Structure 1
Amino acid sequence: MTFEGLSSLQNLEFLDLSSNNFNNSIIPFLHIFPSLKSLNLARNAISCIQQLIQTGPYFQFSSRTFTYSFMTCEELSGFENLEFLDLSYNNFNKSIMPLLRLSKLSNLEFLDLSLNDFSNSTLSSIGDLSSLKELHLDDCGLRGTVDIQSLPNFKNLEHLDLTSSTLHNNFLKDIEKMPSLKILLLSSCQLNGTIPTAKGLCELKHLQKLDMSNNDLSGTLPSCLANLTSLQLLDLSSNHFIGNISLSPLGTLTSMHTLDLSSNLFQIPISLLPFFNLSKLKHLDCHENEIYADIDVPTLTPKFQLRTLYLSGQGDGGVFPKFFYYQHKLEYVDMGNIKMKGEFPHWLIRNNTKLHTLYLPNCSLSGPLQLPIHSHVHFSDLDISDNYFNGSIPTEIGVCFPSLNSLDLSGNGLTGGIPSSFGKMSQLKELDLSSNHLSGIIPQELIVGCSSLYELILSNNSLHGQIFPKQATCKELILLLLDGNQFTGSIPYSISNCTMLEMLDVSYNRLFGSIPGWIGNITSLDILDLSENSFFGNLPSSFVPPRISQVYLSKNRLQGPLTNAFYGCSELTILDLSHNDFTKRIPEWIGNFSTLTYLLLGYNRLEGEIPIQLCHLFKLRLVDFSNNNLSGPVPPCISLLRYPYQPNIYGRYPKDSMAQPLEVTTKNALRYFQGIILSLMSGLDLSCNNLTGEIPVEIGNLDKIQLLNLSHNKLTGLIPQSFSNLKQIESLDLSYNNLNGKIPQLTQLYFLAVFSVAHNNLSGKTPEMVAQFGTFENSSYEGNPFLCGPPLSKSCSSSSIMPRVSEEDRKDHKKDGGFIDMYAFYVSFMISYAIMLLTMAAVLYINPYWRRAWFYMIELSLTNLYYFLVDNIPFVFRCY
């Protein structure tokens, strides 16, 4: 940029060069404007870190010659007329101030150095700017317990912003040295201790705005705050103040316009009686404190007319506050989670024509839902969820609130149907009617009329019919949750019009038919839940979008192989296909799901070996292959994530829908896990299969695992000593296998609640009855004839106990098969079998009558077997 054409503007007073990319070299050019009064250089790349060096002519405008090769901020000292200087959002560092010499700017009234990176020495280097009235040092990296002594003597300073600095504990006591202050911003300054009870802050009688939010201040509010009679805005939020507000001096600050006491430990009466004399009070925020009901309900009339009120928190508020009857200018009210008696305050909406938001969730309100008679065009957000309202939703609700954006009536006892007048809410974006007793169908007017709808939650009701009208378009719809109803039929094609849909949940209904392949065309789909229905048939090839992260299809009647149904879904984190009738092998492309965390394939008819590609999934936390026909060994390389699962969709969906409930067998019971609890679950369930071989010692390296179930298989060998590393294990089931040898020392597993090695070939003494093992009964060890010791009745001193297996025998347990010479057994069995077959063949060859009878018996047996299979297939053997 060149200033050649501007050199004649000797009398220029206002110059704004903000939000560019100027660097240090811009400073000397500014001297062609000696009359400047206002200079704005904010949001540039000026650093002012070079030293001043004279090396000869650098540039020349008219008769002026400048001789600087490295230009710094020192030249700013030449603007004697400067009154406004904004240097915020640059790259200044701690070396700027020795170069600025701002003390020569004797007329400077406004200085903004915010959002740079200074040190504490910056403050003392500013100089004696006696005319300065407004100073911004917020987010300047001022650390090291800045005290008031670091600041020059600013007797005329009216506005001081030190937000996000580190202030000395004595700062509030010494601040009286700036008696002219009107605005003091000390948010996030790591202040601690109490507010001084004398002098200090209480001496700033001209103070109009005080922000001390997000600190560690504590104690009660000192009575000397009553001296701040000019105070209009006070923000004490996010501290640790205590005490009853009725005993505080706040009720005497009659100039107060905005008061924020949120996120403290105050006790505040729900009547707001301490604030009744604050006639100018417009905005009051008391949320996240203790709200209590007055013993004597006041009959006084408040002098204030509130605009906004935040009173949500905890406590018992008694009856609905009476002061609301005198409020006519309310715009925003939030009183969530305060226990109150009474019906829905429809009169509050009627009396306040500018009210646009009313939040009353979890307030224990009851009775029928009554609405104002007249239409309220400004009303936009209503949340009265988790109360005890009953009766039906008023049929005129759409006429009463035509401009509604968000409506949450969930968690009540509402009955009847969904009114068709919802279709008149053309601006409705969020509708939650879940967890009520609503019945009937989804009215077509709702889907067609609410064209802006992007969140529809009707879960856990008794709605029936088709889940979506054929005329539905809903191009803005993002969330569609219809689970827990009685919808029937198939998934309508009209849902394919919802091209922005991210979550579709129709679980726990009575839907049937095949799963349509067009679901894959909804490219934005992230969560799909079709579980607990009656869908049947094979899964379509690539029927889900490639970027989907969660798929739930459990407890349907789906069948066939898992060919290419999920091929290419590289972002899958949860895949639940349990409780279906899938067959064939687990596809090898399962190893391509690098982000897979929860994999549930239990209760199917899968066969073959567990694919080794499973070992490529390093983010797995929970694997359930139970109740299948899997064979082969347990892969030794299976790894489970050791740290809590952090999903990338927290906050995107309401009601903690990070993940739908997953059914997991743990501690000998089926349990559902969801949300945060599910994210902490880690387990491996391979029970009820035909797995063979030894238990890999590497399983003992899964030291964060909580669930391990290898029961009802054909596993042999020893229980690995490495199992003593499973310090977080809560449920360990190795029952119904062919394990032998001793039980290793596992008494250090202090979280173990369920333990079973029943029905194996284990021998020796049971673990000592200490810690968790003192709670396990006989059933944990039964079916092992060579085990002894408590809680078993068999004593280890009994002569009937099998002698202890030596280390040499233990090493050779594969070779001799344990206590039986398996090689001799197999040889003798084969010889006997061959002799029997040869004898039968010789008899049938010699005697024709016996030969005809034998073939007749074979034919009859085959015929009976055929009809038996026709009558009983399919028949799935399960183990429970």
Structure 2
Amino acid sequence: MSNLVESDLSNNQINSFTGNEGLKSLSKLKIMRLGPNSFKNASILQSLGALSSLRELHLQNDYELMRGLVTKKDLEGLANLEELYLDGSSIDVSFFHNVGVITSLRVLSMGHVEFKGRLPNQGWCELYNLEELDLSENGLNGTLPWCMRNLTSLRYLELSFNHFTGSIASSPLTSLTSLQYLSLSHNDFVIPISFSACYNHSKLNLISGDHNKLSKTLSISIIPRFQLKVFTLSNCNANQFSERLFHFLYHQHHLIEVDLSHNNLTAGGTFFLSWLLANNTLLGFLNLRNNSFSGPFPFLTSSPYNITKSIDISNNHIHGQLPTNIGSIFPSLRYLNLSGNELEGRIPASLGDLHSLWALDLSNNNLSGQIPQHFAIGCSSLHFLKLSSNNLDGRMLPDVVNLTDLEFLYLDNNRFEGKIPDSLSTASHLTALDISNNNISGNLPIWIGNIHYIEVLVMSKNHFEGPIPAEFSKLARLSFLDLSNNNLSRSIPSCFNSSQIQHVHLNHNMLSGPFTHTFYNCYSLVTLDLRDNNISGKVPSWISNLSSLSILLLKSNSLEGEIPVQLCSLKGLTILDLSQNNLSGSIPHCFGYIPFKPMTTKSFISDSFGVVDWRIYFVFYVVMETRLFNNYNTFGEKNEEFPLKVGAQVVEFTTKSRLYAYSGNILDYMSGVDLSSNHLTGEIPSTIGNLNKIHALNLSHNNLIGSIPTTFSMLKQVESLDLSYNNLSGTIPYQLIELNSLAVFNVSHNNLSGRTPERKAQFGTFEESNYEGNPLLCGPPLCNSCTKIGSPSTLPHHSSKEEGFMHMGVFYVTFTVSFIIAFLGVVVVLCINPYWRQAWFRIVETYGTSCYYFVLDCFFKPFNRRGV
């Protein structure tokens, strides 16, 4: 193969070359690709030195390749090499000291090579012909070595995702006047806000300085000579330098991409936006997201911007109405994000002229009216539509739509009414649908079961009624279902057994009937919320099949029977609420062996799900002579992650005597058990003290007996402990004062005795109401003094909650018996003694006569005076 010019042996398991004579015969070989393979050390470089014509060498992702010492002897044979790619390998620092022997090198790419520490100040800076250098995604730190001033031919420099420090104004970069591409993002550089230090960089086309620090500069009047095409400076907290930043940008006229997002910029307002669009006719991507711009949306009257593809000015203070002709101003727009502003008025129908529109987000504004018919028909390429949190009304969608490619639809938190239109059934690729918190009514459409791609379905807080269609069981990809706060009735379909579903919220409805085998095969289920329904029967024993279950909320139903011990098999359980049911029996001892350890899988939807590649980011390659930038004026697409926050996972749980809603990261750290308001009996298992990760424990309003386990002192994380309204006896364990996180403690209305815990730490905050209803308790904050109250053995003991009162049945019996005995005693005495009998009759006769004349004088005398 003596005429071989290019060879690709990548993705094999080659570990060496045996002999160099064969390689010498490949005298015309110029390009060789060898990564990844199984080369163990740098000796492979010495072997490749036999290829006298080799100009381009690829050894990417060979993680063991460069471990160990790299000598000049290993590299001398590659003296004619022009391009070397070692990305993803493991580079030893010795490589930098010796790579200077490859004097012809023009391209050196070493991204993500695990090189850490500072760049050396010798060896590699002798690469005077170097034009492209990539050191991104490493652990490099410190300032840039001054020897880099020697790299005067450098045009492409990529230093992103390191830990470099120092000011750009006093770095060797000021001497690299041939630079065209400069990426400094995700470092700790101090970047001068005016870029006057780069005054002589007339060839500079791209500056990327995201996630760095900005500084004031003295010579702000010096305007750099370059004309940028790409400028990104996001997440630099530029608010205190905003007016200086605008001064610099007002002299740029060839911008293609601008990203100043997440900076809290205020100065200039929408005037700056208008100026950018009017003076940079090639502007394709503009991102001013998450700043403090104010003013009305700019009304542009110039010719259409055919190049503009993406505009994001979300999370600002833009107000007023959208231009009615916005569709003709940006006819090629593919992504428009105006969410989180103060826009008002109606949605312009001209948006329907944007036939290439891929994503539209107008959420969190004050828009009103209905969704225009022309918009629903014209935006045939729409994949993402978010109109959440506005004042939109009328029907959800017009009767006729052309949204067949729609994947994500969010219309939540509006005032839509009526039924779900059947026109939505044409969106067969729908992946997420959120119409929560509206006034939509009627039955749930059966055709939703035919949308096989749907993963998120949120229809809570509406007025839906009737049963849950059995067709929902066809949604094999469904991961999140929220039908809560509606008027749904009947039983949950027993065929609802999706193996993919993770979160189910059916709370606050009128669902009834037993569990049967609903959710029997839902092995991925993490959250099951059925609170506030009429579900009856027993908690099913097959619930142990739900091995991933973390949150189980069955509060306020009609469940009965004992708590199944199978719950103890759910080792991932973190929040359990069985309160306000008719459960009986004792608390299973095995509850103490459930870890109840918070898990990060609970929040799910709030920030982790909904990460969708939706932002269309058009990369306009800069005009350069190198092969890296020869595609100018061609549009590419770059995906960026964006949290949709679809149907946020919200869990309500009672703790600290209040109902709290947990979501997001807070939910990930919450754990608790609520078994209150049932008919549980027996003693509290001492093993409950093993639940040292829970934050709330509520066993109140039951019939529990026995003492409070001393093991409760191990509940180090507990913030709310409620044992009130039971039949607990004995003393309050003094060890409980060790619970430093305890904020709410309630043992009222029991049969506890002895002294209250010492008023120190958290127990110093508890009041009398926390202990009331225990007459045998003494000590502060109670009024009972432990020196005055009798000992427990001498005081009456009451075993019920109605202690201090006689049983009414006993009272009636004793009263009747006493009355009969007294009456018979009087009769017997009168029969035996005649004198007492005569005296008794005279008394009766005298008092009878007196009563007769008293009644006659009071009630009949007035009538006699009138002659009646």
Same fold (TM over 0.5): yes
Which deviations, in whole Å up to 9, do the C-alpha atoms of 1:125-148 show, x marking residues without a partner? 516437344333222222534434
Q: Which of these residues, 290, 301, 306, is aligned with residue 228 of structure 2?
A: 306
- Which residue is 1:509 aligned to? 438
* Structure 1 stretch displaced more, 417-426 or 204-213: 204-213
* Cα distance change of structure 1 residues 113 and 491 upon mapping to structure 2, 3 Å threshold: same
Contact 1:589 1:613 (C-alpha < 8 Å) held by counterparts: no
Which deviations, in whole Å up to 9, do the C-alpha atoms of 1:680-728 show, x marking residues without a partner? 3333334444555555566555544333333334444444555455444
Q: Which of these residues, 260, 269, 282, is aligned with residue 335 of structure 1?
A: 260
Which deviations, in whole Å up to 9, do the C-alpha atoms of 1:137-191 show, x marking residues without a partner? 2222225344345723243333222222333334333333333322222222222
* Structure 1 stretch displaced more, 494-503 or 387-396: 494-503
Give the match's secondary structure for 1:265: coil
- Which residue is 2:214 aligned to? 291
- Which residue is 1:28 aligned to? none
- Which residue is 1:488 aligned to? 417
Offset, 1:671: 2.8
Distance, in Å, in 2 between the alignment partners of 1:258 and 1:204 is: 18
- Which residue is 1:644 aligned to? 599
1:707 maps onto 2:696 in alignment: yes
In the alignment, residue 191 of structure 2 is paired with which amino acid?
I
Structure with more contact order per residue of length (Cα contacts < 8 Å, sep ≥ 6): 2
Which deviations, in whole Å up to 9, do the C-alpha atoms of 1:511-566 show, x marking residues without a partner? 2333333332222222222222233344334545343222222223334x434177
- Which residue is 1:261 aligned to? 184
- Which residue is 1:151 aligned to? 74
Give the match's secondary structure for 1:347: helix
Contact 1:97 1:122 (C-alpha < 8 Å) held by counterparts: no
In the alignment, residue 17 of structure 2 is paired with which amino acid?
M
Distance, in Å, in 2 between the alignment partners of 1:101 and 1:746 is: 82
Unpaired runs of 5+ residues, structure 2, are 575-596, 613-641, 821-868
In the alignment, residue 735 of structure 1 is paired with which amino acid?
S
Offset, 1:764: 4.1
Contact 2:378 2:402 (C-alpha < 8 Å) held by counterparts: no
Give the match's secondary structure for 1:762: strand
Offset, 1:431: 0.9
In the alignment, residue 683 of structure 1 is paired with which amino acid?
G
Q: With the length of structure 1 as denominator, give the TM-score of the two structures.
A: 0.77
* Cα distance change of structure 1 residues 831 and 759 upon mapping to structure 2, 3 Å threshold: closer
1:620 maps onto 2:549 in alignment: yes
Which deviations, in whole Å up to 9, do the C-alpha atoms of 1:605-629 show, x marking residues without a partner? 4444433333433322222233334
Distance, in Å, in 2 between the alignment partners of 1:804 and 1:230 is: 100
- Which residue is 1:569 aligned to? 498
- Which residue is 1:550 aligned to? 480
- Which residue is 2:643 aligned to? 654
- Sequence identity percentage: 41
Q: Which of these residues, 123, 145, 148, is aligned with residue 200 of structure 1?
A: 123
1:252 maps onto 2:180 in alignment: no
* Cα distance change of structure 1 residues 210 and 542 upon mapping to structure 2, 3 Å threshold: same
* Cα distance change of structure 1 residues 175 and 681 upon mapping to structure 2, 3 Å threshold: same
Contact 1:127 1:152 (C-alpha < 8 Å) held by counterparts: no
Q: 1:267-666, aligned counterparts within 5 Å? A: 267-292=190-215, 294=217, 298-315=220-237, 316=239, 317-319=241-243, 321-340=246-265, 341-344=267-270, 345-373=273-301, 374-543=303-472, 545-559=475-489, 561-564=490-493, 567-638=496-567, 639=570, 640=573, 642=597, 644-646=599-601, 647=604, 649=609, 651-652=611-612, 654-657=643-646, 659-666=648-655
Distance, in Å, in 2 between the alignment partners of 1:658 and 1:143 is: 49
Q: CA RMSD in A?
A: 3.4
* Structure 1 stretch displaced more, 575-584 or 357-366: 575-584
Query: May I ask how many residue pairs the two structures share in their alignment?
Result: 741
In the alignment, residue 264 of structure 2 is paired with which amino acid?
K
Contact 2:350 2:374 (C-alpha < 8 Å) held by counterparts: yes
Q: Which of these residues, 30, 34, 43, is aligned with residue 113 of structure 1?
A: 34
Give the match's secondary structure for 2:524: coil
Unpaired runs of 5+ residues, structure 1, are 1-32, 43-86, 806-815, 840-880
Which deviations, in whole Å up to 9, do the C-alpha atoms of 1:816-844 show, x marking residues without a partner? 9958999xx999979979x99xx9xxxxx
Distance, in Å, in 2 between the alignment partners of 1:827 and 1:364 is: 73
Q: 1:709-724, aligned counterparts within 5 Å? A: 709-720=698-709, 723-724=712-713
Distance, in Å, in 1 between the alignment partners of 2:744 and 2:225 is: 65
* Cα distance change of structure 1 residues 629 and 801 upon mapping to structure 2, 3 Å threshold: farther
Distance, in Å, in 1 between the alignment partners of 2:332 and 2:649 is: 33
Offset, 1:422: 0.8
In the alignment, residue 333 of structure 1 is paired with which amino acid?
V
Offset, 1:233: 0.8
Give the match's secondary structure for 1:568: coil
* Cα distance change of structure 1 residues 301 and 586 upon mapping to structure 2, 3 Å threshold: same
Q: 1:675-824, aligned counterparts within 5 Å? A: 675-692=664-681, 694-695=683-684, 699-720=688-709, 723-744=712-733, 745-769=735-759, 771-796=761-786, 798-800=788-790, 802=792
Distance, in Å, in 2 between the alignment partners of 1:820 and 1:357 is: 72
In the alignment, residue 36 of structure 1 is paired with which amino acid?
N
Contact 2:331 2:353 (C-alpha < 8 Å) held by counterparts: yes
Distance, in Å, in 2 between the alignment partners of 1:145 and 1:830 is: 97
1:242 maps onto 2:162 in alignment: no
- Which residue is 1:861 aligned to? none
Give the match's secondary structure for 2:563: coil
Distance, in Å, in 2 between the alignment partners of 1:616 and 1:280 is: 66
Contact 2:681 2:705 (C-alpha < 8 Å) held by counterparts: yes
In the alignment, residue 552 of structure 1 is paired with which amino acid?
D
Q: 1:85-104, aligned counterparts within 5 Å? A: 87-93=9-15, 96-99=16-19, 104=24
Offset, 1:408: 0.6
Q: Which of these residues, 209, 220, 233, is aligned with residue 156 of structure 2?
A: 233
Distance, in Å, in 2 between the alignment partners of 1:683 and 1:657 is: 26
Distance, in Å, in 2 between the alignment partners of 1:719 and 1:150 is: 78
Q: Which of these residues, 641, 663, 666, is aligned with residue 674 of structure 1?
A: 663
- Which residue is 1:190 aligned to? 114
Contact 1:530 1:552 (C-alpha < 8 Å) held by counterparts: yes
Offset, 1:434: 0.8
Distance, in Å, in 2 between the alignment partners of 1:562 and 1:170 is: 71
Q: 1:106-145, aligned counterparts within 5 Å? A: 107=27, 109-120=30-41, 122-123=43-44, 125-126=46-47, 128-129=49-50, 131=52, 132-141=54-63, 142=65, 144-145=67-68
* Cα distance change of structure 1 residues 187 and 570 upon mapping to structure 2, 3 Å threshold: closer
Contact 2:81 2:104 (C-alpha < 8 Å) held by counterparts: yes
Distance, in Å, in 1 between the alignment partners of 2:656 and 2:461 is: 23
Give the match's secondary structure for 1:97: coil
Q: With the length of structure 2 as denominator, give the TM-score of the two structures.
A: 0.78
Q: 1:814-853, aligned counterparts within 5 Å? A: none
In the alignment, residue 97 of structure 1 is paired with which amino acid?
F
- Which residue is 1:45 aligned to? none
* Cα distance change of structure 1 residues 453 and 124 upon mapping to structure 2, 3 Å threshold: closer
- Which residue is 1:10 aligned to? none
Which deviations, in whole Å up to 9, do the C-alpha atoms of 1:636-694 show, x marking residues without a partner? 44231546243584624733337343333333333333233333333333444455555
Contact 1:411 1:435 (C-alpha < 8 Å) held by counterparts: yes
Distance, in Å, in 2 between the alignment partners of 1:395 and 1:685 is: 55
Distance, in Å, in 2 between the alignment partners of 1:126 and 1:487 is: 72
Offset, 1:774: 4.5
Give the match's secondary structure for 2:3: coil
Offset, 1:237: 0.9
Offset, 1:384: 0.5
Q: Which of these residues, 90, 98, 102, is aligned with residue 174 of structure 1?
A: 98
In the alignment, residue 300 of structure 2 is paired with which amino acid?
P
* Cα distance change of structure 1 residues 434 and 348 upon mapping to structure 2, 3 Å threshold: same
